[in-house]
């Protein structure tokens, strides 16, 4: 395949640029700087065989994501990378991430009150705090060094989303296994079904149980509200919604946390700034999501003959929105590659934009904020235990980020309200 981009935009078929953490651990593949300047809307061949338009500028990415009428989500978010994904397969019952319009809104509105309302989040905060404090306590008990990704970020986000939905921590393997199938780029349809089936069976049972004996969790309330929806939600749909929350809800956030802390510790001045002024934490969380969110890019399909950034795009064409490239567009964010804990990140696209914008964003923000606040307060001496060049990055998954974040420290302070 021809890799040259120095001909007029879009006249050649480029291989889809993939993340290159070895050369660029905190940003998109370096070739995007050139694409944004010279070929902002260009034809690419994807590893799955799909041919699509790759869109790399902030303004264009935002326009496409913001217009669900011209650009449908029907193909599926990551069909450009996943062997098991087929953009033309029929939409399954409850597969709302590929729906548009009122049919789609029905799902978002059923889940919204459980995952995005200020009241719900206020109740979730103490749960997340307890989980974070417990995990930091476990790090203290085991002593340094540790892997901030597997020993901290994954357990914290797993317990948080499980607690929200109503799945006990002991049953986490079910959704961890499903997620490794869903987000792996080599799983085929058969393997995917095998990875997801045990979770679905478990959730069917749980839906039935919560209908008879409701508890104080999202699943019970979604089951209770299901008959009054228009039309009422089926058990298959309830299972689909809770499965998506669990599967999409832990590694996304854990990876953002691990990646973000890696970047902060790699830039000790920024870490010190945060430690000295924890009021910067919520802004830092946005900055982390701006830098790392959406690394795999997401796919849409044109519903009409139209154009993107002046380039004609035909009805039925696939379009890949390079979110991370958009968030590194100097037209939108000055000195975009720099991690700045005090940056104005308003309008970043790390959670996407438009009607399909991340539906877990408020819980992700909450978890990242609580975790980062606790780390800077309780483990101020936190630092990397290996050079950045030795930190391995995940391969073969659409959740782009470090595979391990080796850290060490001098002392861990007690949790608030805990004796020394």
Partner 1 sequence: MRVRADTALCVSTGSCALTAPEVFDLGEDDGVVVVLVESPPDEQRETVGRAVRACPAGVLSLAP
CB under 5 to 8 A by kind: which of partner 1, ligand HEM, none does 200 bind?
A: none
Among 49, 90, 118, 387, contact with partner 1 (rule: CB under 8 A): 118
Nearest alpha-carbon partner for 404 in 376, 378, 385, 381: 385
Rounded CA gap, 138 and 324, in Å?
A: 34
Count of residues interacting with ligand HEM (CB under 6 A): 26
112 binds partner 1 (CB under 8 A): yes
387 binds partner 1 (CB under 8 A): no
318 binds ligand HEM (CB under 6 A): no
Interface stretch with ligand HEM, choices 82-90, 207-215, 335-343, 357-365 (CB under 6 A): 357-365
77 binds ligand HEM (CB under 6 A): yes
CB under 5 to 8 A by kind: which of ligand HEM, partner 1, none does 377 bind?
A: none
CB under 5 to 8 A by kind: which of ligand HEM, partner 1, none does 119 bind?
A: partner 1
117 binds partner 1 (CB under 8 A): yes
Rounded CA gap, 219 and 164, in Å?
A: 8
303 binds partner 1 (CB under 8 A): no
Q: Select 84 or 221, whichever has its Cβ closest to partner 1.
A: 221
- Residues 6 or more apart whose CB falls under 8 angstroms from that of 28 comprise 17, 19, 295, 322, 324, 325, 328
402 binds ligand HEM (CB under 6 A): no
Q: Select 107 or 149, whichever has its Cβ closest to partner 1.
A: 107
Restricting to residues 359-388, which ones interact with ligand HEM according to CB under 6 A? Answer: 359-360, 363-364
Interface pattern 228-267 for ligand HEM (x via CB under 6 A): ----------------xx--xx--xx--x-----------
| C-alpha distance across the termini of the chain, in Å | 62
Nearest residue to the partner ligand HEM, using Cβ: 360
- Residues 6 or more apart whose CB falls under 8 angstroms from that of 213 comprise none
Query: Whole-number minimum distance, CB 113 to partner 1, in Å?
Result: 5
CB under 5 to 8 A by kind: which of ligand HEM, partner 1, none does 225 bind?
A: partner 1
Among 295, 352, 401, 406, contact with partner 1 (rule: CB under 8 A): 352
Contact by Cβ (8 Å): 52, 317: yes
Q: Cα dist. 124→327, 362, 367, 377, 414 in Å?
A: 29, 11, 9, 21, 22
Q: Which residues are near ligand HEM by CB under 6 A?
A: 73, 77, 97, 161, 244-245, 248-249, 252-253, 256, 289, 293-294, 298, 323, 350-352, 356-360, 363-364
């Amino acid at each position: 395949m021809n890799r040259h981009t120095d001909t007029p935009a879009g006249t050649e078929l480029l291989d889809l640029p993939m993340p290159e953490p070895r050369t660029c651990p905190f940003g998109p593949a370096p070739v995007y700087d050139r694409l944004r300047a010279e070929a902002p809307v260009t034809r690419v061949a994807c590893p799955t065989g799909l041919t699509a338009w790759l869109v790399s500028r902030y303004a264009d990415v935002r326009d496409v994501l913001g217009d669900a009428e011209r650009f449908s989500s029907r193909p599926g978010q990551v069909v450009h990378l996943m062997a098991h994904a087929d953009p033309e397969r029929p939409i399954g019952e409850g597969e709302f991430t590929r729906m548009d319009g009122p049919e789609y809104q029905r799902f978002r509105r059923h889940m919204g009150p459980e995952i995005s309302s200020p009241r719900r989040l206020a109740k979730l905060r103490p749960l997340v705090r307890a989980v974070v404090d417990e995990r930091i306590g476990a790090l203290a008990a085991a002593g340094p060094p540790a892997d901030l990704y597997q020993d901290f970020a994954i357990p914290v986000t797993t317990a948080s989303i499980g607690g929200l939905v109503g799945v006990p921590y002991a049953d986490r393997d079910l959704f961890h296994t499903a997620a490794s199938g869903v987000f792996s780029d080599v799983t085929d349809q058969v393997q995917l079904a095998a990875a997801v089936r045990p979770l679905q069976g478990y959730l069917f049972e749980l839906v039935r149980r919560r209908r008879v004996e409701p508890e104080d969790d999202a699943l019970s309330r979604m089951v209770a509200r299901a008959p009054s929806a228009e039309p009422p939600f089926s058990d298959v749909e309830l299972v689909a919604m809770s499965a998506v929350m669990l599967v999409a809800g832990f590694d996304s956030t854990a990876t953002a946390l691990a990646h973000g802390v890696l970047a902060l510790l790699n830039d000790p001045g920024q870490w010190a700034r945060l430690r000295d002024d924890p009021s910067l934490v919520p802004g830092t969380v946005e900055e982390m999501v701006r830098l790392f969110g959406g690394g795999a890019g997401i796919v849409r399909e044109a519903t009409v003959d139209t154009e993107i950034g002046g380039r004609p795009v035909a009805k039925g064409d696939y379009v890949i929105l390079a979110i991370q490239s958009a968030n590194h567009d100097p037209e939108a964010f000055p000195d975009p590659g720099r991690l700045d804990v005090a940056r104005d990140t308003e309008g970043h696209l790390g959670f996407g934009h438009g009607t399909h914008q991340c539906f877990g964003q408020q819980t992700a923000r909450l978890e990242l904020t609580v975790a980062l606040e606790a780390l800077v307060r309780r483990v101020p001496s936190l630092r990397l235990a290996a050079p950045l060049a030795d930190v391995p990055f995940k391969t073969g998954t659409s959740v782009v980020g470090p595979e391990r974040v080796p850290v060490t420290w001098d002392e861990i302070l007690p949790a608030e309200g805990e004796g020394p």
